[in-house]
Structure 1
Amino acid sequence: MGRPRFKNLVSAVAVAAALGAAGAAGSAAAATLNMAWSQDATGLDPHKQTAFSSLRLLELVYEPLVRTDTELNIAPAIASSWAFSEDGQTLTFKLDPDAKFSNGDKVMPADVKASFERILNEETGASARANFLSIESIDTPDDETVVFNLSQPDVPLLTAMSSINAAIVPASAIEAGTIGTEALGSGPFVLDSWEPNSREVLSANESWAGGAVGVDGINISVLPDETAILAALRTNQVDFALINDPLVATLVPNNPGLTLNREPVLNYHVLQLNADRGAMAEEKVRQAISCAIDRQDVLDAALLGEGKVTGPLTMPAYATDPSELFCYTPDLEKAKALMAEAGYEDGFSARVMAATGEPPTAAAEAQVIQSQLGEIGIDLEIEMMELNVYIDRWLKGDFDMAVALNGGRTDPYTMYNRYWTKDGNLAHVAHYGDDTLDSLMQQGRVETDPAKRKEIFAEFSKHITEVSPWIWLYTGYSYTAANDKVSGFEANPTGSLFGLSAVTVSE
């Protein structure tokens, strides 16, 4: 199967036209899944993408060495087995001998080595680079073995390798410079065509080592209006949909023949503050913002209460009770006092940026926060922008405040080291660092005792919420909707749609 080619155009196709195209493509095969989502991918390079919409597409095409299953355990992907050495200085993988890229080429240790060397190369701009800085060298002693030699024990490394940001790509594609313009992976599907902001066509990867895929392909329509997605589900123009708006999601069960899958996720809603700018350089100002925000009120207004207030760590094994964290009970009087102590009794002006579509509740979150911060004299201007513009600004760290939905991970170090360590490749986005955070992250990286790791990261949570560089708000749910023809989908707390590989569609 040859490498796919993509149309280099952006089209604003009408809803009816988009669905018509998907339906026409789907009519050729009874086992094609017609699907819709509201936010399209912003790019095709698995090592660089940070938008959830991009990751949801790319995880169907590419594979990492290992993946996270629905129980948050590490499971095989390209690798069939793995083991740390007793001293923790090496991590050895055995590759699945049947693993192949969609063009039929076998996945070789050289591809794994080239992929991680690309991730570690600063010029690549890989989004998860900081997760892999302990890798000193990579050996490929035979055709099925890869050995990562580490500078120190690195407990979270295996978890980091389960991300699609650590996808294995062909060494030949890296050499040819085609990563990001051609999609050649070893995952369950092949991306045959992509019309940005309009549609994607995927076909089953006959070379996939994971076994037979349940459908012949997936035709995805990009419908920015989620009420239009619900209407398409009602009329069976769409079989399966990813829903982001909780208001639309709550309407799904009211429709005969439709099922809503509602899964708590690790991803977190957060107000990011720029501690390098103006008043927010003052710790007491940041603390005042934390005390002024009623997290439950924001959750109720923006997400209809569909979620729960959370601290920085959203994974069950490490989560801290929010009542133990700084100012999680709103306290306007304390907030006003902190503003006065910092010399900002009369407040200040700032801007908060938010993206349209990801999450769809961003505007509502920003409006509630704007109102709440107005109570302590902060005049907040809301800047709404398209997702690709938002991501460019976000990656540059160019904002006063940002309403964000960030990805969760099963391990605290993997989740946060790129932000809160001195070498973190997104430290410039975090806009804050101190020796305590860096030390706690490093301690958690090498500690192997689970109880001691939990204590370390509990201290991390308490410290970071007290210095308040960001204001963590809450976690929500992932929603998928399907009609009665669809069966076999399993949701994942990471938000992954990899479960589409097991879906079947009846006549």
Structure 2
Amino acid sequence: MNWTNPRKLMTGLAIATALSTAAVALPVEAATLRMAWSQDATGLDPHKQTAFPSIRLLELVYEPLVRLDPDLNVIPAIATSWEFAPDAKTLTFKLDPNAKFTNGAQVTPADVKASFERILNEETAAAARSNFLSIDTIDTPDDATVVFNLKTADVPILVAMATINAAIVPASEITAGTIGTEAIGSGPFKLDSWEPNSREVLSANADWAGGDVKVDGITISVLPDETAILASLRAGQTDFALLNDPLVATMVPNEPNLQLNRVAGLAYNVLQLNPSRPPMDNLKVRQAMSCAINRQEIVDAALAGEGKVTGPLTMPAFAQDPSTLFCYEQDLEKAKQLMAESGVTGFTAKVIGATGEPPVAASEAQVLQAQLAEIGINLEIEMMELNVYVDTWLAGNFDMAVAQNGGRPDPFPMYNRYFTKDGNLLKVSNFVDDTLDTLMREGQAETDPAKRVEIFHKFENHLVEQSPWLWLSTGYGYTAQLKTVSGFVPSPTGTLFGLTEVSIQ
């Protein structure tokens, strides 16, 4: 099937129109970075947020014990050093004595302990809870030391801790019940105000233990769409912007005063099936769908070629050649044969997607709709506002979902939440499999890097064969900036933490 992309033509015309008209004026503030994005945060609780805009905002306000640098190495954040015991069952951190929350209080071992106890409390509904179930007890032997005693060897727990879903929050705020209503972190910026779907104002945190940031603050404006963002950049009314739409991002290099930052990401685009609902509970139906889709065609048509076909493991240290995975080359004859063997003679299902997050979701759904029609599957597409989509997704209340999920440098914290028997996002995957659970546990406890790669390759092969989800592609993370802005280094994780190094000429 040959695909043309009317969205590309229409988007191009919209961009041209936007660039020929005056952009909405944004306030000019000396030494303040004027930033824009088109999707706003949906909440302020760092332990609960799953939406990318929320995570990107909170990474500037809160800090975990450790973080990842742009090369995906674990580096200090609140902790200055850490050490595993030889059996990998004890992990000891030393805290930075200069780390302070924006309320002036020092970050203490008690805050670390309280934060992880909150994450582990089922009532919190923390997004990454299952990544920390190996924690048995937490000791605080002195005012600078935190010791995690683990039930099993758990090397990947360090990578799991390097996310904002493992942020350290004040124990006093946990007791007061104000996490999520006030943003009191120890990060490089303070959140001074948040007007949902309109504007955020951040100021530099003078007490940040990480040193001085190079701007006085950041004002984030939520603009209607990314064509408006590009127009605002072109007019010099925005200094820096987060872009998600490859069709808009690829226009940036044509602008003489703008710079595009582009980095291959760990996040993946995926068609999530709900195997708890007929007929997706039928393995042969799921496999038929995997064989029927043309992943490269989806990349070309929906992502304008800005991506690559991927299996579940998107991180460089573990990724396999996707062509070696089950039915990654489109095979309609095999798909039709599998459908015949399934006993299902075509069906109708609804696929949901979030409007604008990612911007390619609707286009992906349309291409999938056409491809799956070839084997008698009728997809009805329903696009939702981001906050509605997130709630529906978390509840697992869908037949299928076009999603973009975050990646990690290690497979265990990336997929443990979905595909182990005690994963806290089992409602999202709706899929329990003994083999996947066993391989996950083996990969968690194994300390030999080569053996871990072997284990997770088996995990990936089995996951793709079971086809609870159909992995499609990875793309790129984009930011755009005026050439008067310098110092930003993008990361495969998509974090905007690099804004701590930004300066404005």
Q: What displacement does 1:224 show?
A: 2.7
Q: Which residue identity is paired with 1:131?
A: N
Q: Which residue identity is paired with 2:470?
A: I
Query: In the aligned structure 2, how far is the partner of 1:86 from the partner of 1:97?
Result: 27
The runs of at least 4 consecutive aligned structure 1 residues that moved more than 3 Å come to 16-20
Q: What displacement does 1:17 show?
A: 12
Unaligned 5+ residue runs, structure 1?
Answer: 1-15
For residues 389-400 of structure 1, the aligned pairs below 5 Å read: 389-400=388-399
Name the counterpart of 2:311: 311
Name the counterpart of 2:244: 244
Q: Which residue identity is paired with 2:167?
A: A
Deviations 1:123-182 (A, max 9, x none): 000000000001011111111000011111101000000010000000000000000000
Deviations 1:391-432 (A, max 9, x none): 000000000000000000000001000001000001121111
Deviations 1:87-120 (A, max 9, x none): 2221000000111111221100000000000000
Query: In the aligned structure 2, how far is the partner of 1:66 from the partner of 1:496?
Result: 14
**Is the 2:22–2:235 contact (alpha carbons within 8 Å) kept by the matching residues of 1?**
no
Q: Which residue identity is paired with 1:375?
A: E
Q: Which residue identity is paired with 1:495?
A: G
Query: In the aligned structure 2, how far is the partner of 1:121 from the partner of 1:224?
Result: 38
What root-mean-square deviation, in Å, do the aligned CA atoms of Structure 1 and Structure 2 show?
A: 1.1
Deviations 1:234-278 (A, max 9, x none): 010000000111000000010111000000000000000000101
Report how many aligned residue pairs link the two structures.
485
Query: In the aligned structure 2, how far is the partner of 1:453 from the partner of 1:139?
Result: 29
Query: In the aligned structure 1, how far is the partner of 2:267 from the partner of 2:121?
Result: 27
For residues 284-363 of structure 1, the aligned pairs below 5 Å read: 284-344=284-344, 346-363=345-362
TM-score by length of 1: 0.95
Query: In the aligned structure 1, how far is the partner of 2:32 from the partner of 2:251?
Result: 26
The SS at the match of 2:288 is: helix
Query: In the aligned structure 2, how far is the partner of 1:219 from the partner of 1:155?
Result: 38
The SS at the match of 1:471 is: strand
TM-score by length of 2: 0.95
Name the counterpart of 1:152: 152
Q: What displacement does 1:200 show?
A: 0.3
For residues 25-174 of structure 1, the aligned pairs below 5 Å read: 26-27=28-29, 30-174=30-174
Query: In the aligned structure 2, how far is the partner of 1:249 from the partner of 1:110?
Result: 44
**Is the 2:23–2:235 contact (alpha carbons within 8 Å) kept by the matching residues of 1?**
no
For residues 1-20 of structure 1, the aligned pairs below 5 Å read: 20=25
The SS at the match of 2:279 is: helix
Name the counterpart of 1:11: none
Query: In the aligned structure 1, how far is the partner of 2:376 from the partner of 2:472?
Result: 21
**Is the 2:23–2:231 contact (alpha carbons within 8 Å) kept by the matching residues of 1?**
no
The SS at the match of 1:451 is: helix
The SS at the match of 1:139 is: strand
The SS at the match of 1:312 is: coil
Name the counterpart of 2:282: 282
Query: In the aligned structure 2, how far is the partner of 1:88 from the partner of 1:264?
Result: 32
**Is the 1:202–1:219 contact (alpha carbons within 8 Å) kept by the matching residues of 2?**
yes
Name the counterpart of 2:9: none
Name the counterpart of 2:472: 473
For residues 248-259 of structure 1, the aligned pairs below 5 Å read: 248-259=248-259
Name the counterpart of 1:454: 453
The SS at the match of 2:119 is: helix
The SS at the match of 2:270 is: strand
**Is the 1:194–1:200 contact (alpha carbons within 8 Å) kept by the matching residues of 2?**
yes
Query: In the aligned structure 1, how far is the partner of 2:452 from the partner of 2:479?
Result: 34
**Is the 1:60–1:188 contact (alpha carbons within 8 Å) kept by the matching residues of 2?**
yes
Query: In the aligned structure 1, how far is the partner of 2:136 from the partner of 2:496?
Result: 33
Query: In the aligned structure 2, how far is the partner of 1:103 from the partner of 1:205?
Result: 11
**Is the 1:354–1:385 contact (alpha carbons within 8 Å) kept by the matching residues of 2?**
yes
Query: In the aligned structure 1, how far is the partner of 2:208 from the partner of 2:22?
Result: 32
Name the counterpart of 2:268: 268
The SS at the match of 1:478 is: strand
Q: What displacement does 1:18 show?
A: 10
Query: In the aligned structure 2, how far is the partner of 1:384 from the partner of 1:198?
Result: 22
Name the counterpart of 2:202: 202
Q: Which residue identity is paired with 1:180?
A: G
